[in-house]
A = this chain, B = another copy of it.
Amino acid sequence: MPEKTIEVLLSPKFGDVRGFASIGMAVGLKRSGKPDLGIIFSERACSAAGVFTTSRMAAAPVDHDRAVLKKNSSGIRAVVVNSGHANAATGAAGRALARLMSETAERSLQVPPRSVLVCSTGIIGELPNIVILRRGIELAARRLTAADRDFQKAILTTDKVEKVAGVKVRLAAGRSASIVGVAKGSGMIAPNMATMLAFIVTDAAVPPAALRGMLRAAAAGTFNAVTVDGDTSTNDTVLALANGMSGVGISARARPIFFEGLRQVCERLAWKLAEDGEGATKVVEVLVRGARTARSAARAAKTVAESLLVKTAMHGEDPNVGRVLAALGRSGLKEVQADRIDVSFNGLRAVSRGVLDRTHPAPALKNALRPKQVRIEIDLHAGPGAGRSVTCDLSAEYVRINAEYHT
């Protein structure tokens, strides 16, 4: 009965997860007047884990969360997020502001010191107004509700759609836990509006070390396989909170089920990020097999997914396999051998053993690229390694968004 072990929630919200409440509201940080502050709150202390940007220019909130999780990964009570300003490249003032955000939330929510994580997204180099931010956190803390659906709005910048996903996992006979996630990001980095953020909460009981291990593994195959423009934000953060209020834990038998549920939530959110990539009209999945290792397969997939020429060809629904081959050629993989490579577009073979495959006439190949989801499959015939990358096409709209947006 695999369909009952993991059940996809059709209209998930944080309130589906026992003991969690949230809020999103406009407190005046954004000049547009759009929602710009959010809080996630748990009635009980949570196990918590994070996966953060690999950027050497990590923003102040990232440094803050890393330090808090190191000391208190089993006592997290809340997350506070602002949009509009990234608090990156802000030096000592930025570090003080991240601390102020968490302290204000801790006081307002009446939770212990070092129990609140913070995230910021928006323009790099700029700080939010400190008075507005403090008042906003105090106000939001008073209005927390379990049914809230505005949190996912408050964290958006150039995103066009809200991104929520959730599952119910049956971890023991008759006993289930919920996993619900919310994400933002119009790219791994959006224009000035940097950042990919995701927040995943569950009422399963998961010890911090296990949560960290599973979050890292799930993120590797999902969030970290997404690339919109190859840029990595200074603020990228994925946080997971587990408050245990379902009363059900991850026994040896339940652990793989919980992991698969977590992975599915990450996968759905990651896919929504690619779908909402700036200017995107298609999601493009690049699957590489036959590489020597999983690592080299992922690298080949990423090189193809990041190629501007592949992305523009997909936008133009042009089955131009030369661009795929050229990207593979420069991927730096030793196992790329010109006369071994197979390539197909949405199941139609276009290259066999390195030369154009004429089985399908050009119009049929072009037709195969019409759908909104395009799968490029590549076989290097050189080993057991498989990997993938998920991206979107590159449109003139991407350039318009990013060139015409002014700081």
Shortest CB–CB separation between residue A26 and chain B, in angstroms?
23
Report B-chain residues with C-beta under 8 Å of the C-beta of A321: 89, 124-125
Instruction: Please pick, from B233, B338, B403, the residue contacting A318 in the complex, using a CB distance under 8 A.
Output: B403
Report chain B residues within 8 Å CB of A86. Answer: 322
Interface positions of A (Cβ within 8 A of B):
53-58, 86, 88-91, 123-126, 189, 191-192, 194, 229-234, 306-309, 312-313, 315-316, 318-323, 325-331, 333-334, 336-339, 351, 353-356, 362, 366, 394-396, 398-400, 402-407
B55 touching A330, Cβ below 8 Å: yes
Residues of B near A320 (CB, < 8 A) are 192, 407
Across the interface, A307 reaches (CB within 8 A) one of B231, B330, B362, namely B231
A45 CB to nearest chain B CB (Å) = 32
**Given the complex, which residues of B lie within 8 Å of A395, measured CB to CB?**
399, 403
Chain B residues positioned under 8 Å from A124 (CB to CB): 321-323, 325-326
Q: Are A399 and B394 in contact (CB under 8 A)?
A: yes
Q: How far is the CA of A307 from the CA of B402 in the complex (A)?
A: 12
Q: Using A124-B326, A318-B407, A320-B407 as known contacts, say yes or no to A308 and B56 having CB atoms under 8 A apart.
A: no
A56 to B337, CA, bound (A): 7
Q: Please give, as numbers and ranges, the residues of chain B lying within 8 Å of A233 by CB-CB distance.
A: 326
Partner of A403, one of B315, B325, B339, B400: B315
Task: Give chain B residues whose Cβ lies under 8 Å from the Cβ of A351.
Answer: 89, 125
Min CB distance A319 to B, Å, is 7
* A111 to B407 Cα, complex, angstroms: 62
A contact face: mostly helix, strand, loop, or mixed: loop
Q: In the complex the two chains form, is A330's CB within 8 Å of B89's CB?
A: no
- Contact status of A399 and B398, CB under 8 A, knowing A325-B234, A407-B320: yes
In Å, the complex CA distance between A307 and B55 comes to: 14
B354 lies within 8 A of A91 (CB): yes
Contact of A234 among B316, B329, B400, B402 (CB under 8 A): B329
A55 touches B329 (CB 8 A): yes
Q: A56-B337, A313-B402, A396-B399 are in contact. List 19 more A-B contacts (CB 8 A).
A: A53-B329, A56-B334, A58-B329, A89-B321, A90-B355, A124-B321, A124-B326, A125-B356, A192-B323, A194-B326, A231-B307, A232-B330, A308-B398, A312-B398, A313-B403, A316-B406, A318-B405, A394-B403, A398-B399
Contact of A191 among B232, B309, B336, B400 (CB under 8 A): B309
Contacts of A327 in B (CB 8 A): 231
In angstroms, Cα B329 to Cα A194, docked, is 13
Instruction: Give chain B residues whose Cβ lies under 8 Å from the Cβ of A58.
Output: 329, 338
Asked if A402 and B322 make an inter-chain contact with CB atoms under 8 angstroms apart, the answer reads no
Whether B403 pairs with A189 at a CB distance below 8 angstroms is: no
B57 touching A326 by the CB < 8 A rule? yes
Question: Which residues of B are found within 8 Å of A125, using beta-carbon distances?
Answer: 321-322, 325, 351, 355-356
A337 to chain B, nearest CB (A): 7
Q: Which of chain B's residues have a CB closer than 8 A to the CB of A308? A: 229-231, 308, 398, 402
A-B contact pairs, 20 of them (CB 8 A): A54-B330, A56-B329, A57-B329, A89-B355, A90-B355, A124-B321, A124-B322, A125-B322, A126-B356, A192-B323, A231-B307, A232-B326, A234-B329, A308-B308, A312-B403, A313-B403, A315-B403, A316-B404, A366-B406, A394-B403
